[in-house]
Structure 1
Amino acid sequence: MDWNKAIEEFKIYLSIERNLSNNTVEAYIRDIKLVSVFLKNKKPVNVIRKDIINFINHINKENKSSRTQARILSSIKSFYNYLIFDDKINDNPSIQIYSPKLEKKFPIVLTTQEIDKIISSIDLSVENGERNRTIIECLYSCGLRVSEIINLKISEINFTEEYIRIIGKGNKQRITPINNNLIKYFNNYINHIRSKIKINKRCIDYLFLNRRGTKISRVLVFNIVKEACKKAGVKKNISPHTFRHSFATHLVEGGADLRAVQEMLGHSNITTTEIYTHLDTKYLKEEMANFHPRS
């Protein structure tokens, strides 16, 4: 079995047997393709522990972060567990290789002033200006992931009860409230912008469309955010996910119950949400340092 065949079968296994999302599957496959390039002269079933250690040393020399290295190693372990599951090998050559210690890394968070500057920087007179403003407002007001934004459907918006139904990771559903400002943006975009687009029949229910009438891509959302931040003069290293972090952090800073924040983010485990309490502590320390006379 060569690498291409093994990777293709692994992809099917992840999709069918493990029922993982397309984005998660593609992330696994990207990692294993990196291994296949490095070990192109060996068949995957003949790879030994030393080969994988050499590969990890190789990506370490490329200055990959410890977090990236840990993710890739996890993908390798899953790949070889699959080969065991499929009776291609008996032992996992990566099983006793340990991930590098992860540095504690807090996510970048925008201030409310920075968010206002970013949204205000969008030129509404140009094509797609209204759409782009609505996308960024939705990222922040609802704390959505990029995959959730691009797959958001009009039928999932309840304008009367003021909430949206999100299909998140693992096809889990959650309800997220929407504020009056976002409802106004939704209505304006749907009635005055989207209504003028010739919509592809397969995309008739998707909220955010490109000029071809099909749903927008992840890359487009990243570009929209980068361009808006550049115009606003915000120097932080921003991605669409930064608005999700900011959404959660501002809720916690405002006194929201952590369980409620967990529900709105769609986290399975509250320990994932607890990082925002650490961010809040950092915020409190900064406030103390800035404003207390003894600081």
Structure 2
Amino acid sequence: MREVSPIKDVEKIRDVKNLMVDHGDFRDLLIFTLGINAGLRISDILKLKWEDVLYENGKIREEVLVKEKKTGKTKKFPLNDAVIDSIKAYIKKMQSFEMEDWIFPSRKKNGGLKPISRIAAWQMINKYCKSAGIKENVGTHTLRKTFGYHQYKNGTDIAMLQKMLNHSSPKITLRYIGIEREEMNERYKSVNL
């Protein structure tokens, strides 16, 4: 399996989101926006149901509680404005849904009885990122890595980021988000003898 990179350029992130809006793919926009803003693994994103993000009255929850598939740990996180806006846009586009429905139902013949697959999510992310001119390797993990990268670059302490991503050490977190290699390259380039 090839290693994927975070999307480091904020303009490219905007380009991806704008392409999704232009194509009317508000389901895909929400997957992408949630991934880059919550740091969830794609397996945890795809398993979300409406009852996980909405109250019975249809109001969007302030915080979401997810049991991570990989670690078995419970993760609680707030929804930021970008995610809330994406939820609202997606709901507006939907014809109807039940609270126990998958947020990201498959568009295949199963009539939404299953969420989309990791492969379908990968294809969607790859398609939009390539259309936006992103040359680096991308995949479903790109979303989580993008979250981590921008958290770090915006001043989130590495220990806090490690906890947010449920990693076992700061070194793993730095390598995961591509900072270790980036900083090493900067050090090499800084010495011009």
Contact 1:175–1:264 (Cα < 8 Å) also in 2:
no
Q: Deviations over 1:161-203 (max 9, x none)?
A: 633222212321111232112101112213x233436x7xxx9
Structure 2 unaligned runs (5+)?
Answer: none
Q: Name whichever structure is richer in helix by fraction.
A: 1
The secondary structure found in structure 1 opposite 2:36 is helix
Task: Name the counterpart of 1:108.
Answer: 5
Equivalent position amino acid for 1:133 in 2: L
Equivalents in 2 of 1:160, 1:123: separation in Å? 21
Q: Is the deviation greater in 278-287 or in 162-171?
A: 278-287
The secondary structure found in structure 1 opposite 2:76 is strand
Q: Is the deviation greater in 223-232 or in 258-267?
A: 258-267
Equivalent position amino acid for 2:45 in 1: I
* 1:151-162 to 2 correspondences below 5 Å: 151-157=47-53, 162=62
Alignment RMSD: 3.2
Task: Name the counterpart of 2:162.
Answer: 262
Equivalents in 1 of 2:177, 2:26: separation in Å? 34
**Equivalent in 163, 168, 172 of residue 63 of structure 2:** 163
Task: Name the counterpart of 1:213.
Answer: 112
The secondary structure found in structure 1 opposite 2:75 is strand
Q: 1:130 to 1:267 in 2, by over 3 A?
A: same
TM-score norm. by structure 1 comes to 0.53
Q: 1:146 to 1:186 in 2, by over 3 A?
A: same
The higher radius of gyration belongs to 1
Identity of aligned residues (%): 25
Task: Give the drift of 1:270.
Answer: 4.5
The secondary structure found in structure 1 opposite 2:93 is helix
Equivalents in 1 of 2:106, 2:177: separation in Å? 37
Contact 2:51–2:100 (Cα < 8 Å) also in 1:
no
Equivalent position amino acid for 1:238 in 2: V
Task: Give the drift of 1:131.
Answer: 0.8
Equivalent position amino acid for 2:15 in 1: K
Contact 1:249–1:280 (Cα < 8 Å) also in 2:
no
Contact 2:3–2:137 (Cα < 8 Å) also in 1:
no
Contact 1:252–1:276 (Cα < 8 Å) also in 2:
no
Task: Name the counterpart of 1:131.
Answer: 27
Q: 1:277 to 1:207 in 2, by over 3 A?
A: closer
The secondary structure found in structure 2 opposite 1:196 is coil
Alignment size in residue pairs: 182
Contact 1:176–1:264 (Cα < 8 Å) also in 2:
no
Is 1:189 aligned to residue 90 of structure 2? yes
Is 1:234 aligned to residue 134 of structure 2? yes
Task: Name the counterpart of 2:15.
Answer: 117
The secondary structure found in structure 2 opposite 1:170 is coil
TM-score norm. by structure 2 comes to 0.77
Task: Give the drift of 1:108.
Answer: 1.7
* 1:1-295 to 2 correspondences below 5 Å: 108-111=5-8, 112-126=10-24, 129-157=25-53, 162-168=62-68, 169-190=70-91, 192-196=92-96, 204-211=100-107, 212-214=111-113, 215-275=115-175, 279=179, 282-283=182-183, 286=186
